């Protein structure tokens, strides 16, 4: 049986995904350019060396301009990849101009993991989460308290649990379109709220 709160969360997910999928490509391009403009002045980003981003799908805000700017600034860029052996865990893989991309189980492009020759359970092109400075966090919907819900995998809630408890690990910043803001989200006890969310028109601090 699906409980009431899960039903509500799924309805919000569906509604917001439809809204962002409906944005025109012109609106999408504008959104990316405006977002980069405000991020270029972000103090934590300016002093960061290792930044995790995501490639847009499902109508998400496109971070290609941000990625190119980070490369120009000699920041190392990482993309999350679902861990092939450990359920619920993400790996952070180096992303460069020439990185070999492969399609994952959802048909989404992700960097190819390179296994260590000495220990095949390890991957040489990844970075431990604790060594990332900024974690640009994807989300489907957020509210005025900084609560977020994602695609429903719990990957970011697991990842951000240490940050929530004792502020260790990379600093999370949510990036979203303005249409992803809702009044109040029904929250579960494992959900980790974000300290900051940036949209094209607003910079939220919670």
Residues of the shown chain interacting with Mg ion in the complex, contacts defined by CB under 5 A: 157, 191
Residue 155 binds what, of ligand ATP, Mg ion, none (CB under 5 to 8 Å, by partner type)? ligand ATP
Q: How far is the CB of 41 from ligand ATP (least distance, A)?
A: 27
Residues 150, 138: contact at Cβ < 8 Å? Answer: yes
The Cα 137–Cα 14 span in angstroms is 19
3-state secondary structure of 101: strand
What is 144-199 written as a DSSP string?
A: TTS-EE-SSS-HHHHHHHHHHHH--SPEEEEE--GGGB-S-----TTPPPPSEEE-
Length of the chain: 206
Which residue's Cβ lies closest to Mg ion? Answer: 191
Residue 84 binds what, of Mg ion, ligand ATP, none (CB under 5 to 8 Å, by partner type)? none
Residues 23, 54: contact at Cβ < 8 Å? Answer: no
Q: How far is the CB of 35 from Mg ion (least distance, A)?
A: 23
Q: Judged by CB, which is closer to ligand ATP: 113, or 162?
A: 162
Q: Judged by CB, which is closer to ligand ATP: 155, or 206?
A: 155
Q: Considering only CA atoms, which of 86, 183, 185, 192 is closest in space to residue 135? A: 192
Which residue's Cβ lies closest to ligand ATP? Answer: 150
Q: How far is the CB of 33 from ligand ATP (least distance, A)?
A: 26
Q: Judged by CB, which is closer to Mg ion: 71, or 164?
A: 164
Interface residues with ligand ATP (CB under 6 A) are: 149-158, 161, 188, 190-191
Residue 152 binds what, of Mg ion, ligand ATP, none (CB under 5 to 8 Å, by partner type)? ligand ATP
Residue 178 binds what, of Mg ion, ligand ATP, none (CB under 5 to 8 Å, by partner type)? none
Q: How far is the CB of 159 from ligand ATP (least distance, A)?
A: 8
Residue 117's contacts (CB-CB under 8 Å, 6 or more residues apart) are none
Q: How far is the CB of 190 from Mg ion (least distance, A)?
A: 6
Q: Judged by CB, which is closer to ligand ATP: 116, or 145?
A: 145
E strands present in the chain: 50-52, 76-82, 90-94, 101-103, 109-111, 134-137, 141-142, 148-149, 171-175, 196-198, 203-205
Going 193 to 30 to 70 to 80, the CA torsion angle's sign is: positive
Q: How far is the CB of 157 from ligand ATP (least distance, A)?
A: 3
């Amino acid at each position: 049986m699906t409980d009431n709160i899960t039903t509500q969360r799924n309805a919000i997910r569906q509604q917001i995904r439809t809204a962002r999928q409906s944005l025109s490509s012109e609106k999408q391009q504008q959104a990316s350019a405006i977002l980069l403009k405000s991020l270029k002045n972000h103090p934590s980003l300016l002093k960061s060396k290792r930044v995790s981003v995501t490639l847009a799908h499902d109508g998400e805000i496109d971070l290609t301009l941000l990625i190119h700017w980070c490369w120009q600034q000699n920041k190392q860029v990482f993309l999350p990849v679902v861990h092939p052996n450990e359920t619920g865990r993400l790996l952070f893989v180096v992303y460069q101009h020439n990185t070999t991309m492969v399609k994952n189980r959802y048909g989404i492009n992700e960097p190819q993991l390179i296994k260590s020759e000495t220990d095949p359970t390890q991957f040489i092109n990844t970075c431990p989460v604790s060594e990332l400075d900024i974690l640009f966090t994807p989300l489907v919907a957020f509210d005025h308290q900084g609560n977020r819900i994602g695609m429903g995998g719990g990957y970011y809630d697991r990842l951000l649990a240490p940050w929530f408890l004792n502020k260790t690990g990379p600093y999370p910043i949510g990036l979203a379109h303005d249409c992803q803001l809702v009044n109040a989200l029904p929250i579960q006890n494992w959900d980790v709220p974000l300290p900051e969310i940036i949209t094209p028109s607003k910079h939220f601090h919670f």
